[in-house]
Structure 1
Amino acid sequence: MNRRAFLKTLGTGAGVLAAPTAATTLLARDAAAASGEQLATLYDLSKCIGCGACVEACREAHASDYPQPKKPFPKMYPARVKAEDFSDKRDIDDRLTPYNWLFIQSATVTRDGAPVTVNMPRRCMHCVHPPCVELCPWGSAVRYDNGAVGIDPTICLGGAKCRTVCPWGVPQRQTGVGLYLDLLPAFAGNGVMYKCDRCQTRVAGGGKPVCLEVCPEGVQTIGPRSEIIAAAHALAKATGGFIYGETENGGTNTLYVSPVPFADLGAALQTGPGRPGLHAAADVMGKEQNLATAVLLAPLAGLAAGLLRLTSRVKTAARKEDDHA
């Protein structure tokens, strides 16, 4: 299919797409989230031995989801836009990458005069009101009814807005893959963003995240958020522990209970790209400017998502035709 035919098909499809109604705006989504019981997970960090079984299981379970980039990469404009390529570093497991959606972050702090080492499985926090979803201009970041947050790789253009607005900088980009290659490869995004979707397919089918299933120490549990919060408080009270994730960024669906204060852990962690911190994380979507932007953006993002999905289908159909030619 040549470029003219491609654009003609895209334009025809766009004409039949109805613009999203007000029901898809931020306020309606927030109301739905508030009235439903999202699933949350609780990590008892006193149990984690840092064995890495969860990391390995995650990599195996999602191997087919990882990007297979085309090289050489298109030259990007402006020149300050740099390629992000982990395709030759797929074995990295001490940080988040497009090929590693979960890693163990460890820190040793002094508590009551004795050193205490805490191991933390780190991945997407799955926020209750995720800024990546509300502020993605293309509608490629999605929140599922069960409280998990994912990114649709078939329509993501890799603009990294999700990473910019994430308090923990979780999503990671791989250049040379995705829809941008068929649109404006020199200008449109630079790849696809990747992160944990909390094993959405497994959970939607009644299963559990694979990291939870393989853990030999029973570190993680999953359940309705209200029950998980109650369990976190009960555990913290029984052990003298500390909670993270209940209120950070307006509340998340990932809660940690640690035997030492998270401020101490955060100060001892090695942080940076792909290695989140443990800061207080103010509510991004509670800021008036972001809230207003999201309300205005939601219908446009919904329309953009529809157009991009149509484009993706056209691209897939064209590829199949070429394969059979």
Structure 2
Amino acid sequence: MNPTLSRRAFLKGGAVTAATAVTATALPGSAQAADPGGYLTTLFDLSKCVGCGECVTACRETHEGDFPQPEKPFPKMIPARVPVEDFSDSRDDEDRLTPYNWLTVQETEVTWNGEEQTLYIPRRCMHCVNPPCVKLCPWGAAVQEKNGLSRINDQLCLGGAKCRKACPWDIPQRQTGVGLYLDVLPALAGNGVMYKCDRCHDRLKEGENPACIDACPEDVQTIGPRDEMIKKAKALAKEMNGYIYGLEENGGTNTLYVSPVPFDVLNNASGKGPGLPDLAPHGNSMAMAENVGTAMLLAPLAGFAAAAGRIFLTLKRAAKEEETS
């Protein structure tokens, strides 16, 4: 539970309230003014991937400090409608997406044009051009950067999983027992924090590549502006007489795959289950009128909720500083 907030801490935190509120209310859809054609997009050449897992290892090592450290026992939810999702005892699992594993490689064995092939598909957040997780997050915890990547602010997320329900690939994963909900009505609000690939946004800000790209020994991924990556994808698909995924799915994504085998064939051969994204997305979330309408209605709420969350965190830090001073 958070320490008692004294009058001095309240005033100290309140000094930034106005600025915080203005910033936070701009969070939902913050990248709408950017040019989608210039969004940073990654192109995967599936004909090159050998399933070595170097990308998975690099991702885990880079984000080790971002992984959740849950508090146990978990608060009992009232009503008990939100299930506990605890991956803390299986942190080393790499065969599915978890809060501790933001990238997994799916192996598929198929027969196409009379030839048996084994293909490997690195799977993580698709970073949609128009991400439903961002548009429909009621608390403003999911944001889209100006370069097109989407990420979840673990300091604001309450773990309600609206992002996963909105995601056509069910990608975000929840860890119970961590996050803001522990300080705000832990029995009633949320149930943890949602986690997914953030495209190494800190590295991108420093002009570096995401860790998975630098670690790949086979040059599977290329990163650049979306318009440029689309041209490369089309040229590569023509060269190998292949197929492209990500041009239209959910309105287009900032992840493009090129494969020598049709994606419906790959999908039929791929493993299915929790934490294993389907290559046949369940509908176009942002194309649904009710979702777009909901997003418009929720945008102000999300902004104010994000502001409230930031204010609460500021007050909490100020109280801790006061205790140690």
Q: Is 1:141 paired with 2:136?
A: no
Secondary structure in structure 2 of the residue aligned to 1:255: strand
Mapping 1:285-300, distance limit 5 Å: 285-300=286-301
RMSD value, Cα: 2.4
1:158, 1:190 within 8 Å by CA — same for their partners in 2? yes
Q: TM-score, normalised by structure 2?
A: 0.92
Paired amino acid for 2:89: D
Q: Which runs of 5+ in 2 are unaligned?
A: none
Q: Is 1:47 paired with 2:43?
A: no
Distance 1:247 1:167 in 2: 13
After superposition, the C-alpha distances for 1:79-134 in whole angstroms (9 at most, x for unaligned) are 23221111111010000000000010111111111211110111000000000000
Distance 2:22 2:65 in 1: 33
Q: TM-score, normalised by structure 1?
A: 0.92
Distance 2:24 2:193 in 1: 28
2:171, 2:196 within 8 Å by CA — same for their partners in 1? yes
Q: Are the structure 2 counterparts of residues 43 and 80 from structure 1 closer, same or farther at C-alpha, using a change threshold of 3 Å?
A: same
Give, in angstroms, the shift of residue 283 of structure 1. 2.6
2:134, 2:163 within 8 Å by CA — same for their partners in 1? yes
Q: Is 1:213 paired with 2:214?
A: yes
Paired amino acid for 2:163: C
Q: Are the structure 2 counterparts of residues 68 and 23 from structure 1 closer, same or farther at C-alpha, using a change threshold of 3 Å?
A: closer
Secondary structure in structure 2 of the residue aligned to 1:237: helix
Q: Are the structure 2 counterparts of residues 178 and 60 from structure 1 closer, same or farther at C-alpha, using a change threshold of 3 Å?
A: same
Q: Which runs of 5+ in 1 are unaligned?
A: none
Q: Are the structure 2 counterparts of residues 291 and 312 from structure 1 closer, same or farther at C-alpha, using a change threshold of 3 Å?
A: same
Mapping 1:1-325, distance limit 5 Å: 1-2=3-4, 16=18, 18=21, 29-30=31-32, 32-34=33-35, 37-280=38-281, 282-322=283-323, 324=324
1:178, 1:192 within 8 Å by CA — same for their partners in 2? yes
Distance 2:291 2:16 in 1: 28
Distance 1:214 1:309 in 2: 35
1:97, 1:172 within 8 Å by CA — same for their partners in 2? yes
1:133, 1:143 within 8 Å by CA — same for their partners in 2? yes
Distance 1:246 1:275 in 2: 21
Secondary structure in structure 1 of the residue aligned to 2:310: helix
Q: Are the structure 2 counterparts of residues 6 and 231 from structure 1 closer, same or farther at C-alpha, using a change threshold of 3 Å?
A: farther
Paired amino acid for 1:264: V
Secondary structure in structure 2 of the residue aligned to 1:105: strand
Distance 1:258 1:51 in 2: 18
2:24, 2:306 within 8 Å by CA — same for their partners in 1? no
Aligned-pair identity in percent equals 57
Secondary structure in structure 2 of the residue aligned to 1:118: strand
Give, in angstroms, the shift of residue 5 of structure 1. 6.6
Give, in angstroms, the shift of residue 212 of structure 1. 0.2
Q: Are the structure 2 counterparts of residues 120 and 309 from structure 1 closer, same or farther at C-alpha, using a change threshold of 3 Å?
A: same
